[in-house]
Amino acid sequence: MRVGVFGATGAVGKELVQVLGDRRYPVTELRLFASTRSAGTRIKTPFGEKTIEVYDPAKPPRLDLALLAVSGDWSKAHAKELVAAGAVVVDNSSAFRLDDSVPLVVPEVNAEAAKGARLIANPNCTTAILAVALAPLHREFGLKRVIVSTYQAASGAGAEGMEELETGLKEVLLNGGTAKNNVFRHPLPMNLIPHIDSFQPNGYTREEMKVTWETRKIMGLPDLLVSCTAVRVPTLRAHAEAATIETVKPITPGAARAALANAPGVKLVDDVENALYPMPLTASGRYDVEAGRIRQSLVFGDHGIDFFVVGDQLLKGAALNAVQIAEALPV
């Protein structure tokens, strides 16, 4: 397969190249595209050393697969050109996610939606991580309502976000200074920020509404009630989420554990006696979404549970999901 990675020098782009190598995706030719700032840079990949190219819209490359880790504006301008030039495009931005003609895919949940599509949207990271755990629970118990609070890592704001957190932590901890902030709205070290993306007229942020809109689309449940509070926390690359669900059928913690233990993409980590539960420390760099802290909901009684999930934002929340979509496509 001739594969192009667009935005190859960013945090998600670098993971895309790595995941293609780790999963032995059948790459016959790999081309890496980024902005003019990185043009000509040689970088080592699992497929040998490659030179960063700048995309020329007048001459779209001939690719079988294009993985886009670029801005929504870039995707809107160029994704369809790449399709017209023969590629199947998996786009990581929000440009097409809510477009009825574009499938929004988490392969463990709705792989079949990608069938025959030439342009496929990769979901918002928080949503993809949550959907992997919600799907098996929905299959067995039916979902009625989902209430979720997130604890989102600096990586969600890209390499610059990670760098700002690391630099700020050093400044505060080693020099006793004050952390500067350009990427985040407030300094992140020793803080958390209940504000990701722009506020909407209804008081939710766009990040929070993405969880509602995209969960509904991926799960094929247009009326599912989903409410999210999205919070940036000073962790590096795994997003954590506390969820409460109300179910159609009765549910017990034991039955929920059994459903999650057998679900693809989920690792059950739920042994509170031994203080084992999902954490960014253990989920970072891993493919599986950790699920645990499962308990009967005090609010919804025998029709609800509370649980906690953590997934690597750059992997299941981005690059891994995109490569899994590509793997699910007919070659």
Annotated catalytic sites, by residue?
Answer: 125, 239
260 vs 139: CA distance, rounded Å: 11
Q: Taking the complex as a whole, how short is the minimal distance between the CB of residue 9 and ligand HSE, in angstroms?
A: 17
User: Among 10, 60, 156, 168, which residue sits at the site for ligand HSE (rule: CB under 6 A)?
Assistant: 156
Among left, alpha and beta (phi > 0; psi -120 to 50; other), residue 220 is left
Residue 193 or 276: the one with the smaller Cβ distance to ligand HSE is: 193
By CB under 6 A, what part of segment 278-307 binds ligand HSE? none
Residue 91 or 207: the one with the smaller Cβ distance to ligand HSE is: 207
User: Among 196, 211, 283, 310, which residue sits at the site for ligand HSE (rule: CB under 6 A)?
Assistant: 196
Residue 20 or 154: the one with the smaller Cβ distance to ligand HSE is: 154
Residue 136 or 156: the one with the smaller Cβ distance to ligand HSE is: 156
Question: Which region among 73-81, 152-160, 269-277, 301-309 touches ligand HSE (by CB under 6 A)?
Answer: 152-160
Bridge partners of 276? Answer: 271
- Please classify residue 232 by burial: count the beta carbons closer than 10 Å to its beta carbon, then call 0-12 exposed, 13-18 middle and 19+ buried: buried
Using Cβ positions, the residue closest to ligand HSE within the complex turns out to be 156
Q: Radius of gyration over alpha carbons of the chain, in Å? A: 20
**98 to 137: interface string for ligand HSE, x by CB under 6 A:** --------------------------xx------------
CB 330 within 8 A of CB 114: no
**DSSP assignment string, 260-290:** HHTSTTEEE--BGGGTB---HHHHTT-SSEE
Q: What angle do CA 301, 194, 321 make, to 5 degrees?
A: 75
Does the protein bind ligand HSE through residue 251 (CB under 6 A)? no
CB 233 within 8 A of CB 258: no
- Contact positions vs ligand HSE (CB under 6 A): 124-125, 152, 156-157, 196, 207
